[in-house]
Amino acid sequence: MSLRDEVSAMMRGVAATAVTPRFRMLADHEITEKSPGEIVTSVDRDAERRLHDQLETLGIGARIVGEEAAAHEPGLLDDIGQGLVWLIDPLDGTANFAAGRAPFGMMVALVEDGVPRAGWILDLLSGRICHAEWGAGATCDGIPVRTRPTEGTMPVAALGTHFMTPEHRDRVHAHAAQHFEMVPVPRCAAESYPRLVLGQNDLAAFQRTLPWDHAAGALFLTEAGGVVTDWNRAPYRVGSGRGLLAAANERLWETAADILLGSAAGLTASLIEKEDCTA
């Protein structure tokens, strides 16, 4: 069995046994706050333990870093851009899951020296799995996919600005609304990146750059023909850069960069140094 199929099977198995049966079944004590405004559930922790143990059996010599383990032991993020690393997001969109609504997903990525080499994104309700391998393209449920823009009168943009100060957020949205059709973010990167590939959104911006949130999705998008950079316009790498700008193709990225990555909109790394974008 290929690595693609092995990891896909692991994720589907953990989803079926530890995640989907608990949807809309959580008790109050199973939902806690791990940081201000950030919740975690017993499902996140259980699913991560299971994925960790199963990835370890593959024996490829990669260390394993999961979102919940890193929350408990921040030192796991030291040198995250070096060596071979498995990244686990066991339940992306936890707030949605805990509230009993979609979307939410599961993501796994294999990263080498900061460069995503393989990525998996499982939609935990539909069972859709998006996969990409560096240099080998992207697939959705095993079918090769390429990005397709929405082709509306204005590009469709979902801007993740909810961690910004209200003043900064208002500035970004006021400027962006002159050029884009603005839509709400799904609060779930496992949904954001497929939307960019499957013709639902054209552009996305993210303030926070936690590695498990973006490694799999950035690879899926770029292998399908899209573009992902940090707000300094450098290509995406795990463990470097601040803020992310993603687009369905190079033309859309150039348009978005001209409009958003400058002083008028304020999506610049220097302007958010005092705002929480990495934790």
CATH of the domain at 133: 3.30.540.10
Query: What would the pLDDT profile of 131-170 be if each residue is shown by its tens digit?
Result: 999 999 999 999 999 999 998 899 999 999 888 888 888 9
Residues 9 and 140 in one domain: yes
Q: Percentage helix, strand, coil, to 5, in the chain?
A: 35, 25, 40
Answer whether residue 213 is part of any domain. yes
Q: Which residue range is the domain that position 132 belongs to?
A: 3-144
High-pLDDT (> 90) share of the chain, % = 86
State the pLDDT at residue 36.
Answer: 82
Query: What would the pLDDT profile of 63-99 be if each residue is shown by its tens digit?
Result: 999 999 999 999 999 999 999 999 999 999 999 999 9
Bond preceding residue 103 cis, omega within 30 of 0 = yes
State the pLDDT at residue 99.
Answer: 97
- Residue ranges in the chain assigned as alpha helix (H): 3-14, 42-56, 67-72, 94-98, 166-176, 189-197, 211-223, 250-260
CATH of the domain at 226: 3.40.190.80
Q: What is the DSSP letter of 22?
A: G
State the pLDDT at residue 271.
Answer: 55
Other C-beta atoms lying within 10 Å of the C-beta of residue 207: 23
Please check the confidence at residue 263 and state whether its pLDDT lies above 90: no
Cβ neighbors of 183 (< 8 A, separation 6 or more) are 156, 157, 158, 201
Residues 140 and 176 in one domain: no
Count of CA atoms in the C-beta half-sphere (13 A) of 115: 8
